Amino acid sequence: MLELKKKEAPRGLRIIIVGCGKVGATLVEQLVKEGHNITVIDQNAKRLQALTAQYDILGLEGNGASYSIQQEAGIESADLFIAVTGSDELNLLCCTVAKRTGNCAAIARVRTPDYSREVGYLREKLGLAMIINPELEAASEAARILLVPTALEVDSFAHGQAEMIKIKIPEGNVLDGMTLADLGKTISQDILVCGVEREGKVTIPRGAFRIGGGDILSVAGSRPVIKRFLAGIGFRNNQIRSTMIIGGGKSAYYLATQLLSMGIQVKIIEIRKDRCEELSVLLPQAVIINGDGTDESLLQEEGIETVDSVVALTGIDEENILLTLYAKRVSGAKIITKINRITFKDVINSLDLGSVIYPKYITAEAIIRFVRAKKDSMDNNNIESLYHMFDRRAEAIEFHLDGPSEVTGIPLKDLPLKKELLVTSIYRNGKVHIPSGQDTLLPGDTVMIVTTHTGFNDIRDILA
């Protein structure tokens, strides 16, 4: 058994994590920052030791499904149990033992399509708080981006009525040199620029901020307004009608299923013949090509130069990056790249790959959102959604206000708000509203805030 003394964090939750892979490590990194008491369990002593040496946590070497190991980890006093090993069956078994042994919420990572089709049944029968599927979540994010192909990223909030998109402003664009105040006067008052990344620095901008070519903007607004805004600044928003997916794994299956349901033509290139046969049965409407997706002549033969979008979903990051760079050179397609590693992000960003999705981060983010909501569940304000922005240097958090508090009934201009923070939208009576200083927050509202501060659990955290 490997063990380190835990750091006292009396306000945090007691959380047990089984699995020290990429997702487990990402969870530990974020949850330790937020002051939770973390215990990790893994059978790989070397990986466990590396994690416990880096963070002030408790580590146990052993089988996370073992009753005695869970007892030793403190399952009876735990608030939350998270199983993110590489095995779906082990994750489900770990959570089943934890639910029988302790009185905690349980989360399992489940990736197999057969199980994913039975999520509702498994959650109910096993009493799980959440079942998270990295490949399905990654596919859903890719599908959202393809619906707004000019955006680098797309996140939905306000119960799907609004979006937050990330775009890069070209040199000489109508916005190049324009202040945010002028943008509101001349182009649209119904969108809000929530954050700007310039030369690696992230800013929560005010009205006097002047946009420059090369800036990466995060913009929020209702879906129709976002589309009009993009058209108004010269971003073409042609509908995607065809997609080439390179790599035929689980993410490719989930993405193809979603795209086919939207009437988009799908072609999948997969090197394994047996997997191609499986996909042909699972996806009869798709075109399945058995071949090497890194073969330049094959890609040209299958129409990479004329297809509307290309999604690189092989299991090898280097292949995905090379495919993206090649596709950018030979076609005008919208391109999405899946990256599994969570290191070297600065190098990857410098390559200007466009839209990049990280399944490990998507999974960790969904779990962290649940953790924050659970921590705050006894108060009147609950987190509904959480998005990390600009490589986790800013956060967009959506709160639902169940009752009155220190932030309700007072005009926003009179609230002592923290610096580097914006109230970006108010969802009230089924409508999304971009607020001004005269607006007030009311019980029943769903409110989105964007900030470079981290660890917000309650809407009252916006106050200085």
pLDDT tens, position by position, 136-156? 989 999 999 998 888 998 888
According to DSSP, the β-strands at 431-433 and 287-290 are unpaired
pLDDT value at 354 more than 90? no
Select the CATH number that applies to the domain covering 363-462 from these four: 3.10.150.10, 3.40.225.10, 3.30.70.1450, 3.40.50.300.
Answer: 3.30.70.1450
For residue 85, the model assigns a pLDDT of 95
Indicate whether 284 pLDDT > 70.
yes
Asked if residue 21 has pLDDT above 80, the reply is yes
| pLDDT value at 349 more than 90 | no
Q: What share of the chain has pLDDT > 90, as a percent?
A: 60
pLDDT band at 94 (very low <50, low <70, confident <90, very high): very high
Domain positions in the chain are 14-132, 139-232, 242-357, 363-462
Query: Mean per-residue pLDDT for 358-377?
Result: 80
Would you state the pLDDT for residue 116? 75
The arrangement of secondary structure in 242-357, i.e. its CATH architecture, is 3-Layer(aba) Sandwich (3.40)
Mean pLDDT of 206-227: 91
Share of the chain above pLDDT 70, in %: 95
Average pLDDT, whole number, for the chain? Answer: 89
pLDDT band at residue 377 under the 50/70/90 scheme: low
Q: What angle do CA 359, 360, 362 make, to 5 degrees?
A: 60
pLDDT by residue (tens digit) across 231-283? 999 987 778 999 999 999 999 999 999 999 999 999 999 999 999 999 999 99
393-446 pLDDT, tens per residue?
898 999 989 889 899 999 999 999 999 999 999 999 888 888 888 999 999 999
pLDDT given for residue 8 in this prediction = 37
pLDDT higher than threshold 60 for residue 56:
yes
- The stretch 316-328 carries a mean pLDDT of 94
CATH of domain 14-132: 3.40.50.720
The predicted structure's pLDDT at residue 376: 60
Are both 14-132 and 139-232 of the same fold?
no
* Alpha-carbon span 123 to 215, nearest angstrom: 43
pLDDT at site 3 = 42
Comparing 368 with 110, which gets the higher pLDDT?
A: 110
CATH domain 139-232 topology? Alpha-Beta Plaits (3.30.70)
Q: With bands split at pLDDT 50, 70 and 90, how would you rate the model's confidence at 4?
A: very low
